[in-house]
Amino acid sequence: MSLRSPRIQDVARAAGVSTATVSRTLSNPDLVAEDTRKLVLDAVASTGYRINPTARNLRRRTTGAIVVLVPNLGNPFFSLILAGIETVASANSFSVLIADTEQSAVKADLAIEYLHNHRADGLIVLDASLPMAHVPVNLPKFSPHVVFACERPAGAKKLISVTVDNHQGAAIVIRHLHGLGHDRIGHVAGPASNVLTVARREGMIRELQKRNLPVRREWFFAGDFSIESGARAARQWLALGDRPTAVFCSSDQMAFGFISELHGCGIGIPADVSVVGFDDIEIASRFIPALTTIRQPRIEIGAIAAEILIRRISGEHLPDDTSDRRLPVELMVRNSTGPAPRG
């Protein structure tokens, strides 16, 4: 004979209240008097009652799932962001579906498809390069259920987003390098149209100009956030007759490629050239030499994005300043930067 799972009626009987009161306590505890709330929660604990998420979602006409659109799952940068999202989602009984937007099998209109077909209650978009026509931010029914994290599409100020201050991060890098005596600073940029590329380049140039340091076109190298593009930039740096003594890379991956390529050519880091990255992915502190870089609070980015989205799905009214959460960054000084070489 199998044991029956505790039901809401069992909780109501144990607490001496109605089933409606139990339901209200579990769904909106702030609406229930403290003494009643304690009775119900004690009864839940003593009976071993568990909320059935499937039944709850059917009542609310929700799926209990959120989708995260990631531009490249192979990029280790996204791992801690996804961990932050998963932690908050799990605590709120939401499952997380992940789609790689760089895969050819993923349609451009994937975001709308997930919401229209009731496969998910909301989206967290980590890819600002998706065409805005394919992200349902302009559809009143769906727009509250879309949150951008890491990247915010250019010119879309009304969208809900959780990002870091990329201008500030680039300026911090320049101040650090200039403080070490570098007045000839180069840059390895990300993809030309990427909003992060633009913000980090603008922040760098603004700080260089503020300090009356040269901004030379030949010291700016094209990249795409990959290790190989960093190695390519290193070869271009080697070919220069007049080289910058420090290089700011717009991602850690490019910094790794830049350093490893120069190491193979007998160039010392930081003796011959200082290198700074951006992101502080896990291997940055273990790389040789350990990489000086800008740390993004990646777990916090994911957790805040998930919290905002779930509160929107639940119908909560959020403060106006929730629409644009911009988190500070931190410079992690390690062995890849040092005083500018003499001569």
- Our CA angle for 54, 55, 58, nearest 5°, is 90
pLDDT of residue 153: 72
Contact at 8 Å (CB) between 75 and 279?
A: no
Report, as an integer, the average pLDDT of 114-133: 71
Question: Is the model's pLDDT at 118 over the cut of 80?
Answer: no
The CA-atom distances, in angstroms, between 338 and each of 181, 207, 252, 273 are 9, 19, 18, 8
What the chain holds in terms of domains, given with CATH numbers, is 1-47 (1.10.260), 65-164+304-327 (3.40.50.2300), 166-297 (3.40.50.2300)
pLDDT of residue 233: 98
CA 111, CA 131: separation in Å to the nearest integer?
A: 11
H or E element, residue 160: none
pTM: 0.77
Contact at 8 Å (CB) between 297 and 164?
A: yes
Q: Among 131-135, 162-166, 171-175, 286-290, which is the least confidently predicted range?
A: 131-135
Instruction: For 178-229, write each residue's pLDDT tens digit.
Output: 999 999 999 999 999 888 999 999 999 999 999 999 999 999 999 999 999 9
The CA-atom distances, in angstroms, between 120 and each of 66, 83, 117, 147 are 5, 19, 8, 14
Confidence of residue 24 (pLDDT cuts 50, 70, 90): confident
Q: State both tokens at 270.
A: 């930081």
Q: How is residue 299 annotated by DSSP?
A: H
Choice between 261 and 103, residue whose per-residue pLDDT is larger? 261
Our measurement of the distance from residue 79's CA atom to the centroid of its chain's CA atoms, rounded to an integer in Å, reads 9
Confidence of residue 157 (pLDDT cuts 50, 70, 90): low
> Can you tell me whether residue 201 is helix, strand or coil?
helix
DSSP bridge partners of 124: 68, 147
Contact at 8 Å (CB) between 70 and 78?
A: yes
Confidence of residue 158 (pLDDT cuts 50, 70, 90): low
Contact at 8 Å (CB) between 43 and 14?
A: yes
Instruction: For 45-90, write each residue's pLDDT tens digit.
Output: 788 776 655 445 444 445 688 989 888 888 889 999 999 999 888 8
φ and ψ at 162, to 5 degrees? -130, 110
Q: Among 85-89, 92-96, 115-119, 300-304, which is the least confidently predicted range?
A: 115-119
Q: How is residue 6 annotated by DSSP?
A: P
Contact at 8 Å (CB) between 248 and 276?
A: yes
Q: Label the pairing between strands 292-295 and 330-332.
A: antiparallel
Where in 64-118 does DSSP place strands (E)?
A: 65-70, 95-100
Confidence of residue 115 (pLDDT cuts 50, 70, 90): low
